Structure 1
Amino acid sequence: MAIKYLRTAFASQYQPGQPARLRSGEALEEPGGDYEALHKQMKRLFNAKPGKKFGRFSDDIGESPFSTWLKDYLEGKQGFAAMSSRLFDQWQELLSGCQEEHHGHLMLVHEALADTEVAYLLVVEADSAMRFDGNQALDATDILSLSRLNLALRIELTDWQRNGGGGASSDSDSNYLTLVHARGTAEPGELFIRLCGFTNQVDVEKETLTFLDAVEAFAKTEQPGKAGEVRNRAYEFCKEQHALGEPVAIEALSGYLDQDQPERFREFASKTAELPASGVLHPDHRKVKKLVRIGGSGGGMSVSFSSDLMNQAVYYDRDKDSLTITRLPKVLREQLQRYLDTREE
């Protein structure tokens, strides 16, 4: 990982109706060291965040001019400092009209990877902490939160430029923006989306169902002993992609499922499922877990087990609507025995 440029600004809006305050730092070129470590941790939080949204830049550059400024920077028409100053000024302007309190560090990072370039725009929050000062007097201070990330945007710069690098791409299947917009961010969260110019999000629910249906249909074409292996490998691939913060490319998944015939799943899925022209899906990794686990809760009961155990250690009687479990986990067995012993006493 190599940061080409990084810059931060602290913005605060403590009195709605009054101008927001903003203090920006210097634009840093290849800052290294602690900045790399901080960015690495923010990326971990970003990749692990569930419920991310995918989309493109809005065509309305009057409302959200960030994409235009970014394009000028990438084409060498303005420097990183000038581009980030414009972005920070707009953030201050947006927060000045905010009716809710907000404070946090806005961090813009331009990162060069081995075969691509990306940019991150993150709102880095703070936690309150206590310390003793030089006179051993107790003092309250703020420290950066390394465990919380509620507002962030990743821009696949290489993909965006490949598709024209303008506003919204003409290719409806090109989604080069990934947004973290957590619940509870309220008005500042909506203002952050306006700042980013994010639009045209992917229907993650639909793509999740497409992914699950394609894998399940493909697994049924396999021999009985290999169907579970297909589901497990599909889930593992999806989980790895989620850890990397990447979507699922059908061609790559196809090669992962069958190394001897790497095109087999892709050809099957293209005939049986409605795949996007890009050949990329954005399934919710939490729901993809249904491939390998069966579970549910309600009425004071919660049950979950590996799908491989069906008709092996778990048996379902449809007529009686009953579930029989054999080979109980040791911890569960011990709890049951202790409970029964207590009741008998």
Structure 2
Amino acid sequence: MAIKHLRTAFASQYQPGQPARLVAGEALQEPGGDYEALHKQMKRLFNSKPGKKYGRFSDDVGECPFSAWLKDYLEEKQTFAAMTDRLFGQWQELLNGSQEEFDGHLMVVHDALADSEVVYLFVLETDSAMRFDGSQKLDATDVLSLSRLNLAVRIELDDWRDGKDGDNYMTLVHARGTGDPGELFIRLCAFTNSVDVEKETTTFLDAVEAFAKTSEPEKAGEVRAKAYEFCKDQHALGEPVAIEALSSYLDESQPERFKEFASKTVEMPETGVLHPDHRKVKKLVRIAGSGGGMSVSFSSDLVNQAVYYDRDKDALTITRLPKALREQLQRYLEARED
């Protein structure tokens, strides 16, 4: 990994209705060192963030010109500094119309990977910290947060230019609670959602469940577990699930078996790639529910082994209780008896 270009700008809007303030840093080429470490941590947060959205650039270049500026930069019609000047200027204009307070650092990174190139936009947040100054007086200061990332976008440049992944070359992190600035960030990135993650999650689950049922009962759980592990690993890498790769993982001796089965069982996208929500895919290996003051969660492998469900009585019987739970119950009952 190597950063080709990086630039940051601090923007603040403390009085909605008033002009936002923006201070841009110098455009850096191959900055290395601490910048690489910061970028690596932001990428780690990006990859681990649940609920990402997938899409492409908006067709409305007049309203969302970032794609045109980026294209000119990649074709060397303008410098990275010129491109980010325009981007930062638009960010300031958008924040001028924000109805909520905002402050944060916008970091733009052109990242050269081993086999591809990527551009990231991160909105870096800050945490409050305490320190002693040179006179040993306690002083409050702000430091960059290395544990929070609520707004960011990744653009796969090769896929965009070559049209490889159709409409799915952009990945967006847009967390809840980002409010008006979050919507303005989406406009800045020129992002348009083109993937129904809910639908693709259902497609993934239906395909795996149907495939597991074709296996012997004792191996069905193994199929579900392997599918979940593959999906979880892809999520950690920040990558979608390629059905061909999953098929090879599920059955090395017959690597095409799941792929062929899925194509006949469910409606698969032409790309052969799904973007399931890994949190919901966990249903393959865990059964969970809550309500009425009760929360229950257990491995699906325990059904009819340590957990028994009586449909007629709508009753759940649990044996082989976890030690910690058993001790809590005993202490609670003893306290009530006293």
Q: Please, what TM-score do these two structures have when normalized by structure 2?
A: 0.98
User: C-alpha displacement at 1:135, in angstroms?
Assistant: 1.9
- Residue number in structure 2 paired with 1:199: 192
Question: What aligned pairs does 1:128-167 form with structure 2 within 5 A after superposition?
Answer: 128-163=128-163
Q: Deviations over 1:100-150 (max 9, x none)?
A: 211100000011111111111000011122222212222221110111111
Query: Which of the numbers 248, 270, 276 marks the counterpart of 2:269?
Result: 276
Q: Following the alignment from structure 2 to structure 1, what is the Cα–Cα distance between the partners of residues 207 and 35?
A: 42
Q: Following the alignment from structure 2 to structure 1, what is the Cα–Cα distance between the partners of residues 298 and 30?
A: 48
Q: Following the alignment from structure 1 to structure 2, what is the Cα–Cα distance between the partners of residues 340 and 185?
A: 45
Q: Is 1:111 matched with 2:111?
A: yes
Question: What aligned pairs does 1:1-345 form with structure 2 within 5 A after superposition?
Answer: 1-163=1-163, 173-345=166-338
- Residue number in structure 2 paired with 1:167: none
Q: Following the alignment from structure 1 to structure 2, what is the Cα–Cα distance between the partners of residues 195 and 344?
A: 64
User: C-alpha displacement at 1:300, in angstroms?
Assistant: 1.1
User: C-alpha displacement at 1:343, in angstroms?
Assistant: 1.9
What's the secondary structure of 2:123's corresponding residue? Answer: strand
The amino acid of 1:134's aligned partner reads: G
What's the secondary structure of 2:130's corresponding residue? Answer: strand
> Which region of structure 1 is more displaced relative to structure 2, 142-151 or 132-141?
132-141
User: C-alpha displacement at 1:183, in angstroms?
Assistant: 1.1
Runs of 4+ that moved beyond 4 A: none
What's the secondary structure of 2:308's corresponding residue? Answer: strand
Q: Following the alignment from structure 1 to structure 2, what is the Cα–Cα distance between the partners of residues 102 and 319?
A: 56
RMSD: 1.2
Q: Following the alignment from structure 2 to structure 1, what is the Cα–Cα distance between the partners of residues 156 and 199?
A: 23
The amino acid of 2:273's aligned partner reads: V
User: C-alpha displacement at 1:99, in angstroms?
Assistant: 2.0
Q: Following the alignment from structure 2 to structure 1, what is the Cα–Cα distance between the partners of residues 6 and 185?
A: 19
Q: State whether residues 153 and 177 of structure 1, in contact with CA within 8 Å, keep that contact through their aligned partners in structure 2.
A: yes
The amino acid of 1:244's aligned partner reads: L
The amino acid of 1:28's aligned partner reads: L
Q: State whether residues 174 and 278 of structure 1, in contact with CA within 8 Å, keep that contact through their aligned partners in structure 2.
A: no
Instruction: List gaps (5 residues or longer) in structure 2.
Output: none
Q: Following the alignment from structure 1 to structure 2, what is the Cα–Cα distance between the partners of residues 29 and 273?
A: 47
The amino acid of 1:130's aligned partner reads: M
User: C-alpha displacement at 1:215, in angstroms?
Assistant: 0.2
The amino acid of 1:38's aligned partner reads: L
What's the secondary structure of 2:140's corresponding residue? Answer: strand
What's the secondary structure of 1:40's corresponding residue? Answer: helix
> Which region of structure 1 is more displaced relative to structure 2, 130-139 or 110-119?
130-139
User: C-alpha displacement at 1:305, in angstroms?
Assistant: 0.5
Q: Deviations over 1:283-308 (max 9, x none)?
A: 11000000000111111111111001
User: C-alpha displacement at 1:207, in angstroms?
Assistant: 0.7
Q: Following the alignment from structure 1 to structure 2, what is the Cα–Cα distance between the partners of residues 248 and 6?
A: 30
User: C-alpha displacement at 1:344, in angstroms?
Assistant: 2.0
Q: State whether residues 286 and 297 of structure 2, in contact with CA within 8 Å, keep that contact through their aligned partners in structure 1.
A: yes
Instruction: List gaps (5 residues or longer) in structure 1.
Output: 165-170
The amino acid of 2:157's aligned partner reads: L
What's the secondary structure of 2:233's corresponding residue? Answer: helix
Q: Following the alignment from structure 2 to structure 1, what is the Cα–Cα distance between the partners of residues 14 and 288?
A: 45
Q: Deviations over 1:242-300 (max 9, x none)?
A: 10111111111111101111110000000110111111111110000000001111111
Sequence identity, in percent? 81
The amino acid of 1:333's aligned partner reads: R
Q: State whether residues 234 and 253 of structure 1, in contact with CA within 8 Å, keep that contact through their aligned partners in structure 2.
A: yes
Q: Following the alignment from structure 1 to structure 2, what is the Cα–Cα distance between the partners of residues 22 and 205?
A: 37
What's the secondary structure of 2:17's corresponding residue? Answer: coil
Q: How many residues align?
A: 338
